[in-house]
Amino acid sequence: MRKHIVAGNWKMNTTVPEGVELAKAVVAKSVEVPSDVELIIGTPFTHLYPVNEVVAGTRVALSAENCADHAKGAYTGEISVDMLTSVGCQYTILGHSERRQYYGETDEKLVEKTKLALAAGLKVILCVGENLEEREANKHFDVCKAQTVNVLKNFTAEDMKNVVIAYEPVWAIGTGKTATAEQAQEIHAFIRKTLADLFGAEVADQVSILYGGSCKPSNAKELFACPDIDGGLIGGAALKADDFIGIALSF
């Protein structure tokens, strides 16, 4: 059975005190969620240490939103994987479309980041997804395949035990425009087939593939009912504990 996962991506939102309060609310409500659903909150770097104090020893796992593509040294402003594990991080999101779009994140950099993260014992939530122009030009399959293969061809079946994929169509992120369950399922099945071509069907069948893009309590049930959708990567709705937990209750 694949793991069901609901992961929050707070992006650049909340001050540290606000983030700590939000984490406390998520932990308090997490008791409502069946234990087979993994809950993860992804916070800005500044929040990781104090939020870890809140989530440590609970069922809520902690994620960063990015990491450096070097292990250590003269990289001003960057945060290394060892820094992340030292504050209790278990996951890092990598390749979010906002990082690809605004910060020049390339597949080559993502290979380096994924190597460092896995070697440090972090699990990786690797984001893939097409933009609107690519969807309208019917290139979404090619784009998702390239983003998946360019990074993951450098890893082994064993590594894939610690990799989660998030399919996030860029046109659905923060726009209120969700992919239909049919559109999402179609691409999720395609990504799983791409993983099967790389690692074999047995491995592909074990990898959780999350949907992201304006997911909320009102549409999560329909999305999560699809056979290849194993949960969600949640942006806006992760900033309200009720909505985040409401989504986690939608399996």
Cite the active site residues. 96, 168
Residues 6+ apart with CB under 8 A from 15: none
Least Cα distance to 233 among 40, 31, 33 occurs for: 40
Strands 4-9 and 37-42: parallel
Contact region with ligand PEP (CB under 6 A), list: 50-58, 61-69, 148-156, 230-238: 230-238
Q: Identify which of residues 213 and 246 has a Cβ nearer to ligand PEP in the complex.
A: 213
CA atoms within 13 Å, Cβ hemisphere of 223: 33
Residue nearest to ligand PEP (CB): 235
Task: Give least dist CB 98 to ligand PEP, A.
Answer: 7
Task: Give least dist CB 31 to ligand PEP, A.
Answer: 24
Contact region with ligand PEP (CB under 6 A), list: 12-20, 81-89, 138-146, 207-215: 207-215
Least Cα distance to 40 among 246, 207, 233 occurs for: 233
* Residue of 213, 220, 224, 247 interacting with ligand PEP (CB under 6 A): 213
Q: Identify which of residues 89 and 179 has a Cβ nearer to ligand PEP in the complex.
A: 179
Task: Give least dist CB 174 to ligand PEP, A.
Answer: 4
Contact region with ligand PEP (CB under 6 A), list: 31-39, 45-53, 76-84, 233-241: 233-241
E-only strand ranges, 158-197: 163-167
Q: Contact at 8 Å (CB) between 244 and 234?
A: yes
Q: Identify which of residues 121 and 174 has a Cβ nearer to ligand PEP in the complex.
A: 174
Q: How far apart are CA 163 and CA 160, in angstroms?
A: 5
* Residue of 114, 214, 219, 250 interacting with ligand PEP (CB under 6 A): 214
Q: How far apart are CA 214 and CA 237, in angstroms?
A: 8
Q: How far apart are CA 206 and CA 4, in angstroms?
A: 11
Q: How far apart are CA 132 and CA 20, in angstroms?
A: 35
Task: Give least dist CB 190 to ligand PEP, A.
Answer: 19
Other C-beta atoms closer than 10 Å to the C-beta of 131 total: 18
Task: Give least dist CB 37 to ligand PEP, A.
Answer: 17
Q: Work out whether 235 is an interface residue with ligand PEP (CB under 6 A).
A: yes
Touching ligand PEP, residues 149-168 (CB under 6 A):
168
Touching ligand PEP, residues 166-205 (CB under 6 A):
168, 173-174
Q: Identify which of residues 55 and 172 has a Cβ nearer to ligand PEP in the complex.
A: 172
Least Cα distance to 16 among 46, 61, 60, 53 occurs for: 46
Give Cα 223 distance to the centre of its chain. 16
Which residues bind to ligand PEP, rule: CB under 6 A?
9, 168, 173-174, 212-215, 233-237
